[in-house]
Amino acid sequence: MDQLLQHGLNALMLGGTYALLGIGLTLIFGIMKVVNFTHGELYAFGAYMMYALVMLLGVSFFVALPLAIALGVALGALLELVLLRRLRGADIDTTMLVMIGAWIALQNAEQLAWTGVAKSISTPFPAAPLVIGPVSVAWNRVFVLVVALILIGVTYLLINKTKLGRAMRATFQDRDTAALMGVRIGNIHTATFALGSGLAAAGGALLGPVFVAYPSMGDLAAAKAFAVVILGGLGSIPGATLGGFILALVEELGAGYVSSGYRDAMGFLLIIVILLFRPTGLFARKERVG
Amino acid sequence: MSERAKPILAATWVGFLLSIPFWLDNPYLLHVLIVTGIFIIAAMSLNLLLGYAGQLSLGHVAFFGIGAYASALVSLGFKVTLFPDWVLVVEAKPVWLAMLAGMLAAGASGWFIGRIAFKVRGAYFVIVSISFVEVVRLVAVNWVELTQGPMALNNIPPLEAWGFTFLRKPANYWLVLGVAIASYVLIRRLVYSRAGRAMVALAENEPLATSVGIDVTRYLVLAAVVSATMAGAAGALYAHYVRIVDPDVFLFIYTVTMVIMVITGGKGTLAGPVVGGLIFGLLPEGLRAAAIAPEAQWIVYGVLMVLVVYFLPQGIVPALTKGRG
């Protein structure tokens, strides 16, 4: 029972970041119809920016975190303007190929810039874990969860309570009608991609210090983000949030009770099973085939 | 070009390709050509799905890897505990039989994946295909009893046929060339058949194809099986040529390489994967000669891929033929 509790707590800690990654991807996917293969690279970018700011420039950890996220937003906006703007209206396969090309170029640029050696980032949190009855959790993981939940909340408010968010939702529902109503679709796309990229960079900036930063770290993160999107359904923030925690729980239980070697396979198996039996995701009702 | 000139041109090409080992006395370059040839076979098989049936499969390397692993395992023999009291023992088999088993295993997994993955389209199909290859890769890493995991399958025997061992490079070159030509002819026949026309029809307009009575799933699964079997053949060739197989054959980057080859050369054309395959098979050697770091080589790949999609969306072969006619 204690073991089960510990697994549940671990899943809670991990799920926040998965949700963050999934929300970024689901927004880009839903609003822009772009399968964003650079998502994992933005995640790695966030982690490396933390490394550069904290370890190389000596910036305080709590200042570096918002800076790294802001840089992720900026890189996302740049990618959208340079790569995607001219592809608006192109079919989904074409944009997918461009994103794969960008992903390969970005990942290897990271490898060239930072070498393949993993970088660790020091945190100001105490090394002793927080002990709650029979279970324990590291302080930095608690911090990660809290920040992730704050960012999820901010994103939710941004989408549902602001003018920009309303324009985004309108674009998601019907791009042409939104354009006719005076929504500048180009700007919405840039904002969406920048926001999604910022969330991915935030995920990397939060988890980079917990683990280490290495050039291909984004691949697994992106794969998990895809799993979360499939679980939660297209374009749904609550779905992606819940999907993040479900994926984390399935992984934890799979690693704990089946085999730790297959931990990362759980997400992929989940994707396959969900698409077979409930192709609209667990929460959405929108038809996805096509 | 007149219709009568075509067979002569084709024969000249084949003659030229056959003659290469006689005058190219650089074994390293020959090795590069063999590996390029294997990748061209894989790219041709991907083209059937991507170019003709219109499905962007990003799990294609799974079939290549399954062919390589199955062929290597059958030729080496293996023993595996499926249930606590049921041990499956396979004695080492001749390599040609093992290669057939590899193709069969790849084709069967193509059928299985085709049955389930073609329930969804577009982005979801892409994600399912990526997930499939990742699961297979993790099985190859973790099922150590069968695959040796990261320790790799070593000492895979080379192909022996008619008392001849395909150990040296020229022999392997001709073997790969033969399989490549056979695959080309097979794809050509399939594409110009009724099934091929059905595939193109559904790639261009699936609702319309369905409305005139084309059984979409059936033809997609057919394309997947043929494509996977061919990729499995390429994998089997690879396993018995380099004679070592490890879970890295499932790396996503190999799928990407195949996709780049097909897109650059021209998807949905017969010559496209060959042209694209030659470019991206030989380009790394050119970049290496120019003393460029491997990371920079991949950056060049990525940028080229973006540029090709922007400026040559149909690929090189259609651009050339359009310019000529």
Sorted by where each begins, the domain ranges of chain B are 31-249
Which residue on chain B is closest to A276 by alpha carbon? B116
Which residues from B are below 8 Å from A92, CB to CB? 122-123
Q: Give the C-alpha separation, B250 to B117, whole Å.
A: 19
pLDDT of residue A289: 34
Which residues from A are below 8 Å from B135, CB to CB? 265, 268-269, 272
Which residues from B are below 8 Å from A112, CB to CB? 293, 295-296, 299
b vs e for A73-84, b when ≥16 Cβ sit within 10 Å of the residue's Cβ?
Answer: bebbbebbeebb
| Nearest-neighbour CA in chain A from B128: distance (Å) | 6
- Torsion sign (Cα): A31, A37, A38, A42: positive
A161-216: pLDDT as tens digits: 999 989 988 888 888 888 888 888 889 999 999 999 999 999 999 998 888 899 88
b vs e for B244-276, b when ≥16 Cβ sit within 10 Å of the residue's Cβ?
Answer: ebbbebbebebbbbbbbbbbbbbbbbbbbbbbb
Structure tokens at A259: 């085999």
Q: What DSSP assignment string belongs to A175-225?
A: HHHHHHTT--HHHHHHHHHHHHHHHHHHHHHHHTTTS-B-TTHHHHHHHHH
The letter for the amino acid at B212 is V
Structure tokens at B177: 């060339």
Return per-residue pLDDT of chain B as tens, 325 residues.
Answer: 566 777 888 888 888 888 888 888 888 888 889 999 999 999 999 998 888 888 888 888 999 999 999 999 988 888 887 777 788 887 778 888 888 999 999 999 999 888 877 777 777 788 888 888 888 888 888 888 788 878 888 888 888 777 777 778 888 888 889 999 999 999 989 888 888 888 888 777 888 888 877 777 888 888 899 999 999 999 999 999 988 899 888 888 888 888 888 988 888 888 889 999 998 888 878 777 776 777 787 888 888 888 988 888 888 888 888 755 4
A105–B306 C-beta distance less than 8 A: yes
pLDDT of residue A278: 75
Which residue numbers of B have CB closer than 8 Å to A's CBs? 56, 116, 119-124, 126-128, 130-132, 134-135, 138-139, 141-142, 252-253, 256, 259, 263, 293, 295-296, 298-299, 301-306, 309-310, 313
State pTM to two decimals.
0.84
pLDDT of residue B95: 81
Q: Give the C-alpha separation, B256 to B313, whole Å.
A: 17
pLDDT of residue A78: 95
B306–A272 C-beta distance less than 8 A: no
Which residues from A are below 8 Å from B310, CB to CB? 86, 98
Q: Residue B159 CA to chain centroid, in angstroms?
A: 19
Which residues from B are below 8 Å from A29, CB to CB? 123
pLDDT of residue B2: 63
Query: Using an 8 Å Cβ cutoff, are A152 and A241 in contact?
Result: yes
Q: Give the C-alpha separation, A139 to A78, whole Å.
A: 35
pLDDT of residue A283: 67
**Positions of chain A with pLDDT under 50:** 287-290
Domains, chain A, with CATH or none: 2-113+132-277 (1.10.3470)
Which residue on chain B is closest to A226 by alpha carbon? B127
Burial of B24 per CB tally in 10 Å (0-12, 13-18, 19+): middle
- What is each CA distance from A271 to A289, B20, B103, B149, B300, in whole angstroms? 15, 47, 27, 24, 32
- What is each CA distance from B18 to B15, B170, B233, in whole angstroms? 5, 10, 20
